[in-house]
Amino acid sequence: MRAWAEIDIKNLEHNINLIKKISNNKDILGILKADAYGHGVVEISKVLKKNGIKIFGVASVEEAIELRKNGIEDDILILGCILSDEYDDIIKYNISITVASFDDIKNIEKTKIYPKIHIAIDTGMGRRGFFPESFLEAYNYIKKTKIAKIEGVYSHFSVADVEEEKEYTMNQLNEFERLTKNIDVKYKHISNSAGMINYLDKINCNLIRPGIALYGINTTNKKLDLKNVLKFKSRIVHLKKIDKPRYISYMKKYLAKEGELIATISAGYADGVKRAFSNKGYVKIHNVKCKIVGLVCMDQFMVSIDSSIIDKVKLGDEVIIYDENIVELANMIDTIPYELLTSLSKRVKRVYL
Ligand SMILES: *Cc1c(COP(=O)(O)O)cnc(C)c1O
């Protein structure tokens, strides 16, 4: 295999159990959007289900249908928007949807399909959801007209992983609890992974919505024994000892020196090695950091082998593009681990351990 992702199911199960423990066994809505953050939704959903998770969150109707077609009969909530031509599938596949605006209400009213819904409140995320000022109007209207079955109300944190933003997050939380205190629905939920890690003792909801934490990544400063689930790997497919200064890769962005050992790795930006790592990132070979040199190409990139392992490396050696260092690497190119994981393309074979 030229490039693959090793997915450690034991670590995933460890994380599920840890989340159950720290949340005091609250119900968990397992976030499976974007192919389970690149981990492969078919396999991951099975593991979540086997470990007692009974509700799943996805972004779109297509993602929900994929789960249904792979044997998930439990509740599925679509967190994203629903377009009017998708309502038939909502009913056909028995999927819960998010109602986030009066436009959504109008659409549902027109279709007369009586869907299962969760109402979203925008307490500060600024994406979708009713403003706190109009939430009760929307809620009461749906109750009165019976155009949908309200299963839940929820909101979403925008800065729960940022310590300095505690006040903003607490305001979001207080607003949510004030608005939903006297409302009788099956599920109230606001906590993403960071909210769960940083604010759980302050949250009264009965459902949490972890995504990234399931996959073993902690985006907060709090210590937590999460275990990284995915390792992105590739191989050395070419080695050359530099005999005199020579340029490496497109646009001559790196000039290799005499004596340097340059390895070509068989993965590129079409696999999910972000081009921003050009001349910036590093990979691990024999557990030693080796710098990425020159521009990352579509299917390959080059690294300069660290002098400590020059005598050890050989063709075919395994290269770790990232594992538990994913947060550090994402920071290095001003992005987040979510983007790295969801950039892994179809060409990267998922291997389940
Ligand atoms: C993606 C998403 C989550 C999960 O977020 P993490 O940071 O991965 O835990 C939770 N809720 C909503 C609405 C989301 O869109």
- Can you give the pLDDT at residue 185? 97
Q: Counting atoms of ligand 1 from 1, which one is nearest the CA of 59?
A: 15
Query: The pTM is what?
Result: 0.96
- Can you give the pLDDT at residue 84? 86
AA letter at 218: N
What is the CB neighbour count within 10 angstroms for residue 350? Answer: 19
CA–centroid distance, 111 to ligand 1, in Å, is: 29
Q: How does pLDDT run along the chain (353 residues), one tens digit per residue? A: 999 999 999 999 999 999 999 998 899 999 999 999 999 999 999 999 999 999 999 999 999 999 999 999 999 999 999 998 999 999 999 999 999 999 999 999 998 899 999 999 999 999 999 999 999 999 999 999 999 999 999 999 999 999 999 999 999 999 999 999 999 999 999 999 999 999 989 998 999 999 999 999 999 999 999 999 999 999 999 999 999 999 999 999 999 999 999 999 999 999 999 999 999 999 999 999 999 999 999 999 999 999 999 999 999 999 999 999 999 999 999 999 999 999 999 999 999 99
Q: Which of 240, 208, 102, 220 is nearest to 165 (CA)?
A: 220
Q: Ligand 1: list residues with CB < 6 Å.
A: 31, 33, 79, 156, 192-194, 209-213
Active site residues: 33, 250
Can you read off the two tokens belonging to residue 147? 């155009």
Can you read off the two tokens belonging to residue 152? 């839940």
* Crossing angle (nearest 10°) for helices 132-145 and 166-180: 30
Question: What is d(CA 20, CA 39) in angstroms, rounded to the nearest whole number?
Answer: 21
Which contacts qualify for 167-171: CB closer than 8 Å, 24 or more apart? 168/124, 169/195, 169/198, 169/199, 170/199, 170/202, 171/123, 171/124
CA–centroid distance, 136 to ligand 1, in Å, is: 24
Q: Counting atoms of ligand 1 from 1, which one is nearest the CA of 33?
A: 1
- Can you give the pLDDT at residue 193? 97
Residue 61, SS3 per DSSP: helix
Domains of the chain, CATH where assigned: 9-215 (3.20.20.10), 230-352 (2.40.37.10)
CB contact at 8 A, 256 and 248: yes
Q: What are the φ/ψ torsions at residue 181 (nearest 5 degrees)?
A: -55, -45
AA letter at 227: K
Q: Which of 209, 217, 229, 339 to mutate to test the pocket of ligand 1 (most atoms within 8 A of CB)?
A: 209
CA–centroid distance, 92 to ligand 1, in Å, is: 26
Alpha carbon of residue 336 to chain centroid: 10
